Amino acid sequence: MKQVYLDNQSNTRIDDNVLEVMLPYLKQNYGNPQSIYSLGQVSKDAIEKARSSVAKLINCKFEEIIFTSCGSESNNLAIKGFAYANAKKGKHIIVSAIEHFSVLNTVKALEKDGFEITYIPVDNKGFVVLDELKKAIRQDTILVSIQYANTEVGTIQNIDEISKTVKEKNIVFHTDAVVAAGVIPIDVVKSGIDMLTVSSSVIYGPKGAAALYVKKGVYIKPQIDGGVQEFNKRAGTENVPAIVGFGAACDIAIEQMQKNYEHTIKLRNRLIEGLKKNIKYVYLNGPTENRLPTNVNFSIEFVEGEALFLLLDAKGIMASSGSACANKSLKISHVLTALNVDVAVGQGSIVFTLSKYNTEQDIDYVIAEFPAIVERLRMMSPLYDHFKTTGERMKAGPGTDYDHHHH
């Protein structure tokens, strides 16, 4: 059976060249980077080379990169690390309503510790409302954390504007750039970013490696205590093979960025058009402009989410219901709620995320198979039945792209 993998926001296939670069560090170069004999030095040098590659991807100095195990750890280190190091200055933190759970649950944990959190709303395309951000800033605000781009609906925030607003008040700015780094150009200097999260597993690198950029002069408290690794900011034996792979993935991302962008955006638009044309009552969530080239998110009316994924999976098509961390809980995602998508429509939401390995054949296969699956599920839907007999529907919210398919 044909296999079409379209869940690249949660994990990508490793690039063959990345794997090749890693293998020696799993086999012969197994020395601990902290050891002084030459085998240890080989590992140490490999880590520093990788550090330079990650730094180059976002245009920072190599000593501003701290290696971690994953994006969630980087977000925790950035937010908790900064909050605890700077609590004397103030205890107010601002985040957006559509952050990844590793940001939302981190600030929730800080709330229990006496920090105060403000959640900035977004408009119905997922863009942070700048005026609300300006209003939210207070004397005791120490940190603002707003994602670079959204995993679920693909919205690329106006980071330069957001950063300018934050920097005018001399507040530190962190951005979770996990789904943006390596996909679109990022320059922390130009954009005035103080801390940034980037992960290996979604840019064709291995799982188990990620990084946090911390601008020189920004102080954070380590969240793992122990040895001197990572400039005393993160103790523990370094995951050398994964870090080496991460570095190689960054080098490849820099080299292929333009090509991959053009490739995926073409596939993305083909998929959006194909589904709109062949399925009634579907609504694109998120923006058409300033959208990740890899992201497609549709609400499918009169369809319940979980059955959709099982039937697609039976056809070899792998997609997601938005947040990779919320798949088990079948309520409408916090992102779609923030975009004001109607609950009745939002439950049938599906996210396809593309990679450089996807082909036009993949997309055409989905366009061919998906409409029949939707039709089959609608035949079982009492809501659809009601709509067909009465013409009445549960009203969709303003967050959905409701302007086509009114036949």
Written as six digits, the tokens of 361 are 């054949």
Residue 302 per-residue DSSP state:
T
Residues 138, 349: Cα–Cα separation, whole Å: 37
Contact 395, 342 (CB under 8 A): yes
Contact 7, 365 (CB under 8 A): no
**Residue closest to 54 by CA, chosen among 188, 218, 157, 171:** 188
Residues 51, 55: Cα–Cα separation, whole Å: 6
3-state DSSP: the chain helix, strand, coil percent, rounded to 5?
40, 15, 40
Residues 398, 280: Cα–Cα separation, whole Å: 18
Q: What DSSP line would sit under 148-182, residue for residue?
A: SB-TTT-BB--HHHHHHHHHTTT-EEEEE-TTTBT
Residues 171, 268: Cα–Cα separation, whole Å: 37
Query: 60 an active-site residue?
Result: no
Written as six digits, the tokens of 252 are 């490849």
Task: Indicate which residue of 60, 70, 250, 325 is catalytic.
Answer: 325
Residues 395, 136: Cα–Cα separation, whole Å: 32
**Residue closest to 186 by CA, chosen among 165, 156, 208:** 156
Type of residue found at 123:
D
The residue with tokens 């309503």 is 97
**Residue closest to 68 by CA, chosen among 259, 177, 229:** 229
Residues 245, 281: Cα–Cα separation, whole Å: 43
**Residue closest to 16 by CA, chosen among 244, 249, 297:** 249
**Residue closest to 202 by CA, chosen among 394, 331, 74, 92:** 74
Helix, strand or coil, per DSSP, at residue 134: helix
Q: How many CB atoms lie within 10 A of CB 61?
A: 14
CA distances from 40 to 51, 54, 61, 232 (A): 17, 21, 24, 18
Any idea which residues carry the catalytic annotation?
Answer: 325
